Amino acid sequence: MELKEKLVSSFMAFEDTVDVHSTIHDIRTEAIKSFEAEGFPTKKLEDWKYTSLNSVLKHDYSVFPKNENALEFKDIKKYFIHEIDSYKIIFVDGKYSSHLSQTTHDGLDVCLMSAALTKPKYKVIIDNYFNKIASKDGLTSLNTAFSQEGAYINIPKNKVVEKPIQIIHFSTGNEAALMLQPRNLIVVNENAHVQIIERHQSLTDHPVLTNSVTEIFTNKRAIVDYYKIQNDQQSASLIDNTYVNQKQESLAKVHTFSFGGKLTRNNLNFYQNGERIDSTMKGITIIGNKQHVDHNTLVHHIEPNCESHQDYKGIFDGNATGVFNGKVVVEKLAQKTNAFQANNNILISDKATINTKPQLEIFADDVKCSHGCTIGQLDESAMFYLRSRGIPEKEARALLMFAFSNNVLDSVKIPEIKNRITKIIAKKLGVNIGFNL
């Protein structure tokens, strides 16, 4: 594979440009070796049975963008949740943009991975957390090998972060084709609470491939609320690898909203290393055209008395393909586990496809585990009810779809995000409902 060779050979050049202490160097070298051995995943792998990367990998991506491109805030304002005050970490073509960002070191660290990897004062954290839960598969290894830039967030004990943190990656189309590999590390200490919003946005129709890795550590009783908004151009593809390591009594919630992009693959992995942990994964997927969205989730119940909730809704139109591959593993020790998994889908078009594979692997007996999955259409009698009350077909359909995805929307804690998502959905469905749902 051409891209693979290009990446492997450009690793040498990359190593020259970064000056880091030896442990990171070792991790990177190890990672590139593992990428060389593993390569990009193919459909032969069980986890990639329904998603082929071939169409995405054929472009000649530039790995290190040369020119910097300045963006004006007013041009890109619409991609922010700008109604609320927030910390912002903004990247343009993979480079940090200081004038668009708002970082802090005051009581908490919201800053850059490049700084964290090089400055001695972060060494302890990096040694303890960096690359500790990321898996060794090809794509994650590739990211690890080239890990340099991204967000670094460290919330100290008992700190409730008063405003959300937005991480946005813009690509400007300066290069014919661009490959980005952001690497984020988020450490949330005891009793701390943080809300994070992540978005990847391409501003032109040049192909962009983002291979992102995020490691999240939630310590005792910490709360993390994470929102991923994926509403990119038809030319952009995203492979998102998120690893969450939870300690006792912590709560981690990840909402994924997938509305756009050529190919989106979300690898979401939760590891419960403590008792009484709650992990929640929710998602709404509404796509059409030739879009492809693949949700691949894993919840690993290692200790007793924990819970996990998964709820994914999908609406597929046009030639879209939706994949849900959810896995719940309950270890022998993890008695009294409650694990729920739901995946509901609606097919609008005859050319759309849904492949779903909700899996349970259970080794403990005193557990409550269930999964449910449905594929169907909008309820005709409900449709008739709305139509008989004078609501036009398109609006009636949209209302039913809102109702379908409502319990995911309902659990969004930031009202501005909820509004934004509602608007995006309304736009996707081509309706103006004129009121807030």
Partner 1 sequence: MSKYTEDDLREELKTKEYEYGFYTDIESETFPVGLNEEIVIAISKKKEEPEWMTQWRLEAFKVWKEMTEPDWANVNYDKPDFQAISYYSAPNSKPKYDSIDEVDPELLATFEKLGISLDEQKKLAGVAMDVVVDSVSVATTFKETLGEKGIIFMSISEAIKEHPELVKKYLGTVVPQKDNFYAALNSAVFSDGSFCYIPKGVRCPMELSTYFRINQAGTGQFERTLVIADEGSYVSYLEGCTAPSRDENQLHAAVVELIALDDAEIKYSTVQNWFPGNAEGKGGVFNFVTKRGLCEKNAKISWTQVETGSAVTWKYPSCVLKGDNSVGEFYSIAVTNNYQQADTGTKMIHLGKNTKSTIISKGISAGKSQNSYRGLVQINARAENARNFSQCDSLLMGNECGAHTFPYIEAKNKSAMIEHEATTSKIGEDQIFYCNQRGIDTEKAIALIVNGFSKEVLNKLPMEFAVEAQKLLEISLEGSVG
> Does residue number 353 form part of the binding site for partner 1 (CB under 8 A)?
yes
> Does residue number 43 form part of the binding site for partner 1 (CB under 8 A)?
no
> Does residue number 19 form part of the binding site for partner 1 (CB under 8 A)?
no
Applying CB under 8 A, the span of 77-85, 137-145, 369-377, 419-427 interacting with partner 1 comes to 369-377
The DSSP call for residue 111 is E
We find the least distance from the C-beta atom of residue 328 to partner 1, in angstroms, to be 9
Distance of CA 224 to the CA centre of its chain: 14
Question: Which one among 356, 401, 412, 431 touches partner 1, defined by CB under 8 A?
Answer: 356
Mark 294-333 with x for binding to partner 1 (rule: CB under 8 A) and - for no binding: --------------------------------------x-
Coil/strand/helix, residue 80? coil
> Does residue number 372 form part of the binding site for partner 1 (CB under 8 A)?
yes
We find the least distance from the C-beta atom of residue 35 to partner 1, in angstroms, to be 25
What are the structure tokens assigned to 24, written together?
């990171």
We find the least distance from the C-beta atom of residue 357 to partner 1, in angstroms, to be 5
Residue that the structure tokens 């995000």 belong to: 417
Our CB check for partner 1 shows the closer of 376 and 392 to be 376
137-196 residues in contact with partner 1 (CB under 8 A) are none
> Does residue number 345 form part of the binding site for partner 1 (CB under 8 A)?
yes
Q: How far apart, in whole angstroms, are the C-alpha atoms of residue 83 and residue 70? A: 23
Give me the phi and psi of 15, to 5 degrees please: -60, -30
We find the least distance from the C-beta atom of residue 400 to partner 1, in angstroms, to be 15
Q: What share of the chain is helix, strand, coil (3-state, %, to 5)?
A: 25, 40, 35
> Does residue number 415 form part of the binding site for partner 1 (CB under 8 A)?
no
Our CB check for partner 1 shows the closer of 62 and 353 to be 353
> Does residue number 84 form part of the binding site for partner 1 (CB under 8 A)?
no
Our CB check for partner 1 shows the closer of 50 and 404 to be 50
Our CB check for partner 1 shows the closer of 192 and 352 to be 352
Give me the phi and psi of 419, to 5 degrees please: -60, -45
| Angle at CA of residue 218, ends 254 and 195, nearest 5° | 45
What are the structure tokens assigned to 21, written together?
């202490």
Coil/strand/helix, residue 236? strand
> Does residue number 369 form part of the binding site for partner 1 (CB under 8 A)?
yes
**How many residues at the interface with partner 1, by CB under 8 A?**
36
Coil/strand/helix, residue 336? coil
Q: Which residues pair with 257 in a beta bridge?
A: 229, 284
Residue 157 CA: distances (Å) to CA of 193, 194, 219, 363: 9, 12, 9, 35
Our CB check for partner 1 shows the closer of 363 and 384 to be 363
Asked if 148 and 182 count as a contact pair (C-beta separation under 8 A), the reply is no
Burial classification of residue 344, based on how many CB atoms lie within 10 Å of its CB (0-12 exposed, 13-18 middle, 19 or more buried): buried
What are the structure tokens assigned to 321, written together?
């393909």
We find the least distance from the C-beta atom of residue 335 to partner 1, in angstroms, to be 7
Residue 370 neighbours by CB under 8 Å, 6+ apart: 339, 340, 341
Our CB check for partner 1 shows the closer of 178 and 346 to be 346
Applying CB under 8 A, the span of 65-73, 184-192, 269-277, 374-382 interacting with partner 1 comes to 374-382
Our CB check for partner 1 shows the closer of 352 and 429 to be 352
Give me the phi and psi of 402, to 5 degrees please: -60, -45
Which helix (H) or strand (E) segment holds residue 158: the answer is none
> Does residue number 364 form part of the binding site for partner 1 (CB under 8 A)?
yes
Applying CB under 8 A, the span of 8-16, 66-74, 375-383, 420-428 interacting with partner 1 comes to 375-383
We find the least distance from the C-beta atom of residue 145 to partner 1, in angstroms, to be 30
> Does residue number 371 form part of the binding site for partner 1 (CB under 8 A)?
yes
What are the structure tokens assigned to 411, written together?
């659990």
Coil/strand/helix, residue 29? helix
Our CB check for partner 1 shows the closer of 174 and 338 to be 338
Q: Are strands 193-202 and 223-230 parallel, antiparallel or unpaired?
A: parallel
Q: Longest C-alpha distance within the chain, in Å?
A: 71
We find the least distance from the C-beta atom of residue 347 to partner 1, in angstroms, to be 4
Q: How far apart, in whole angstroms, are the C-alpha atoms of residue 210 and residue 417? A: 23
> Does residue number 42 form part of the binding site for partner 1 (CB under 8 A)?
no
Applying CB under 8 A, the span of 53-61, 146-154, 358-366, 424-432 interacting with partner 1 comes to 358-366
Helices (H), ranges, 244-392: 380-388
Applying CB under 8 A, the span of 22-30, 31-39, 90-98, 353-361 interacting with partner 1 comes to 353-361
Give residues in contact with partner 1 (CB under 8 A).
46, 50, 332, 335, 345, 347-377
